[in-house]
Structure 1
Amino acid sequence: MMINRRLQPLLEQYDWATERLITRLTGPTSNSGDDQDVDVPVLTDAEYQWEPVGGCWSVRRRSDGPGRGAVKLIGAGEWGRDGAPDSPWPPPLTTIAWRLDHLSETLMGRSSHLGGDRTFTRATYESPADAAGAIAQIRQAAADWRRSILQVDESDYDRTGLSSYPYGSDAEETFPSIVWWMNQEILHHGAEIALLRDLYVHRAR
């Protein structure tokens, strides 16, 4: 398949970022940048929910209610993600569970509102309860978003409002801007998740 020259560098960055993130979650190894493979264990449930400090935002059983500083649990189902109508300042530290859930929900939502049926809503979104479920969900969400961006015709690249995603600035953005934004979401949350994994390993030392 021929990739449009304007999309190609963004798609290459996206593929690299998502591959890097999933490798840091599942292993068995990850390249450290100097051609030395580092062992990476699969993310466990304990690590998925680990709160390095008090008052972290996370994914919680709905019957337990939201965490400190949160006013609601986003989504439907037995589990939900800590949230509030307005982002608090300073922002709370968030767990790996929260960060993965945020990424999956955003990828799924934008996939639906760009190239899908445009029916996605947080009111029906369901957060995974465990690490295995979260990994499976981020894999699927990443694949869905990739398919969606490849379906966009070049003639629509500079049209604003191509995506009807209701939880961002998509209505005022062009297609390349939306793709770039999703890339930086994966890059910066992926880096945060990698750091939390390192801290978890060294917490008892």
Structure 2
Amino acid sequence: MTVPGRLAPLLDQYDFGCTRLVQRLGGPLLDSGNGLEVPVPTLTDAEYRWEPAAGMWSVRRRADGVLGEGATVLVGAGEWGRDAAPVHPVPPPFTTLAWRLSHLAEMLALRADHTVGAHRLTRDDHVTPGDAVGALAAFEAAAQAWREALLAVPDEATLDRIGHSQYPNGSDPEDRFLDTVWWVNQEILHHGAEIALLRDLYRERGRWSAVPG
């Protein structure tokens, strides 16, 4: 399949960002960026839902209720949900690794559906796993679904089509599809970097008390 010229570099960037994020979470090795492979610890359920600060937004059992500061509902389907509110607080809440990974998986799955699918999925349909293995699998499946939506772009003209994606939780219906593709990439890259930092902080959490001052 021929990928439209302007889409090709963004697809390459998307593949890089998703692969790097999956490696950062699942290992066992990660390319350090200079050709060296470094070991990656297995993501445990404890780290997946780790809350280093009070009031964080996270993924929670529905039986436990909404606990994030300013959150009013747990979105999603199934036993677990993700802290949310009709209007996102300002400043934004501090979110756990679980929240960020769930957000990415939901965004990718719903955008794929509202681009090349049935245009029916909502946040209430998306199942958020409460465990690390399930969450990583959900992200990989959603990432593949969005990639298939990109590969389905038939020609350059589609990239300039307003509302080719009808994803309802963003500005997609008013945006050129190329701008939507760019936006999704920056979501992967910036949340991937945040997740990587949370992994570093979790690994070093036992040393914090030893830092002077």
Partner of 2:128: 127
Preserved CA contact (<8 Å) 2:3 2:153: no
| Residue correspondence of structure 1 range 1-205 to structure 2 within 5 A | 1-67=1-67, 68-154=69-155, 155-205=157-207
| Bigger shift: residues 10-19 or 59-68 | 59-68
Amino acid at match of 2:31: N
Displacement of 1:33 = 2.0
Where structure 1 has 5 or more consecutive residues not aligned to the other structure, the ranges are: none
In 2, are the aligned partners of 1:48 and 1:97 still within 8 Å (CA)? yes
Runs of 4+ in 1 over 4 A off after TM superposition: none
Distance (whole Å) between structure 2 residues aligned to residue 183 and residue 156 of structure 1:
18
CA distance in 1, matches of 2:43, 2:130: 13
Distance 2:141 2:100 in 1: 16
Larger CA deviation: 152-161 vs 47-56: 152-161
Separation in 2, partners of 1:37, 1:124: 38
User: Residues of 1 paired with 2:128 and 2:179: CA distance?
Assistant: 27
Q: For the residues of structure 2 that align with 1:61 and 1:185, how far apart are their CA atoms?
A: 26
1:5 is matched by which residue type in structure 2? G
Matched to 1:187, the amino acid is: L
Q: Which amino acid aligns with 1:151?
A: A
Report if aligned partners of 1:115, 1:149 keep a CA contact under 8 Å in 2: no
Q: For the residues of structure 2 that align with 1:83 and 1:147, how far apart are their CA atoms?
A: 28
Q: 1:25, 1:43 within 8 Å by CA — same for their partners in 2?
A: yes
Question: Post-superposition shift, 1:2?
Answer: 2.1
Cα shift at 1:75: 1.3
- Count of residues paired in the alignment: 205
| Matches of 1:195 and 1:52, distance apart in 2 | 12
Q: Which amino acid in the other structure matches residue 143 of structure 2?
A: A
Say whether the 8 Å CA contact 1:113–1:120 is kept in structure 2.
Answer: yes
Deviation at residue 30 of structure 1 after TM alignment:
1.0
**Partner AA of 1:16 in structure 2:** F
- 2:89 and 2:56 map into 1 onto residues whose CA distance is 13
* In structure 2, C-alpha distance between the alignment counterparts of 1:12 and 1:159, rounded to whole Å: 21
C-alpha distance in structure 1 between counterparts of 2:181 and 2:34, whole Å: 29
Q: Secondary structure at the match of 1:4?
A: coil
Please, what TM-score do these two structures have when normalized by structure 1?
Answer: 0.97
Gaps of 5+ in 2: 208-213
Query: Would you say the 8 A contact 2:59–2:81 is kept in 1?
Result: yes
DSSP 3-state at the match of 1:123: helix
Question: What is the TM-score with the length of structure 2 in the denominator?
Answer: 0.94
